[in-house]
């Protein structure tokens, strides 16, 4: 186990548990959190023994978005950077995008355990995940428009793809908040549970995914992401390019063989 001031990274078998850990600041994204979170996703991508990741927050808020009190003075040069996180934040223009998965090509499944309110960049982080378990206290929203800002963490791209068009436009243009039950009804989250069950439920979703053959899991996610928004014929060609290598693996021979022989498969990961 490794713990850091702003983000905790824990390995539980083949699952990485990433926890935003600034409860006193509503888990807002300051330069340190963005650096640590971007590094966590990079570690998940680089480590082949990690097969799935769960992201959550400490306290009663999942993530309140960017910590404007810390980031705006840096970008407007009204204060000088005074640590390595500040300097990296200024040097890497895509740091925030990496942290909230806006520019991610990570093909390992990510599950959000949404322990409370997820707004602005916090909601955009949720949009970058694949499976979402929300607490009954969770609230969702992209409220940037209320402060004359633009929800530039992917919301104008992802929300219309993940919600009905008119609903996405309501979220984007009003800046209102939506409760967990309504988010569930809209298909934005998979399940709503009591807050003390959120993490356990998310881990329960991650474990069977991590038990599946990684090459198939990663190819399925990569294919889905690559096909989104494409014309059907083009998408079918993309799907074929992702599926063909899976069928050439030894595990793809073992799986159907075990099924026919009525036994548990013995996968090799290749």
Closest to 72 in 3D by CA, of 163, 167, 147, 179: 147
Segment 170-193, tens digit of pLDDT? 999 999 999 999 999 999 999 999
pLDDT value for 5:
67
DSSP 93-149: TTHHHHHTTTT----S-EEEEE-SEEETHHHHHHHT-SEEEEETT-EEE--GGGGT-
Give me the active site residues, please. Answer: 124, 144
**pLDDT given at position 3:** 44
Distance, CA of 240 to CA of 222 (rounded, Å): 12
pLDDT, tens digit, 9 for 90 and up, residues 77-116: 888 888 999 899 999 999 999 999 999 889 999 999 999 9
Domain residue spans of the chain: 7-211, 214-260
Count other C-beta atoms under 10 Å from residue 30's C-beta: 21
Q: What is the mean pLDDT of residues 199-203?
A: 97
The CATH fold assigned to 214-260 is: Lyase 2-enoyl-coa Hydratase; Chain  A, domain 2 (1.10.12)
Span 206-230, pLDDT tens digits: 999 999 989 999 999 999 999 998 9
Whether residue 1 has pLDDT greater than 60: no
pTM of the shown model: 0.92
| CATH architecture assignment, domain 7-211 | Alpha-Beta Complex (3.90)
């Amino acid at each position: 186990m490794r713990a850091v001031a702003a983000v905790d990274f824990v390995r539980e078998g083949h699952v990485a548990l990433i926890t935003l850990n600034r409860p006193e600041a509503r888990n807002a994204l300051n330069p340190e959190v963005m650096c640590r979170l971007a590094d966590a996703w990079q570690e998940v991508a680089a480590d082949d023994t990690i097969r799935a990741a769960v992201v959550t927050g400490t306290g009663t808020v999942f993530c309140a978005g960017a910590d404007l009190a810390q980031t705006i003075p840096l970008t407007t040069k009204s204060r000088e950077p005074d640590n390595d996180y500040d300097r990296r934040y200024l040097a890497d223009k895509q740091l925030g995008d990496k942290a909230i998965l806006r520019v991610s090509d990570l093909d390992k499944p990510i599950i959000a355990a949404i322990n409370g309110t997820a707004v602005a960049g916090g909601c955009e982080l949720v949009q970058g995940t694949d499976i979402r378990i929300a607490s009954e206290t969770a609230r969702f929203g992209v409220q940037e428009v209320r402060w004359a800002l633009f929800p530039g963490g992917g919301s104008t791209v992802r929300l219309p793809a993940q919600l009905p068009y008119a609903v996405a436009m309501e979220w984007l243009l009003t800046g209102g908040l939506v409760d967990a039950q309504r988010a569930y009804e809209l298909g934005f989250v998979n399940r709503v549970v009591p807050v003390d069950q959120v993490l356990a439920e998310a881990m329960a979703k991650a474990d069977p995914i991590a038990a599946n053959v990684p090459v198939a899991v990663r190819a399925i996610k990569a294919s889905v992401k690559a096909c989104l928004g494409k014309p059907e014929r083009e998408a079918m060609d993309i799907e074929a390019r992702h599926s063909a290598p899976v069928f050439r693996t030894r595990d793809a021979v073992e799986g159907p063989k075990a099924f026919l022989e009525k036994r548990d498969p013995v996968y090799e990961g290749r």
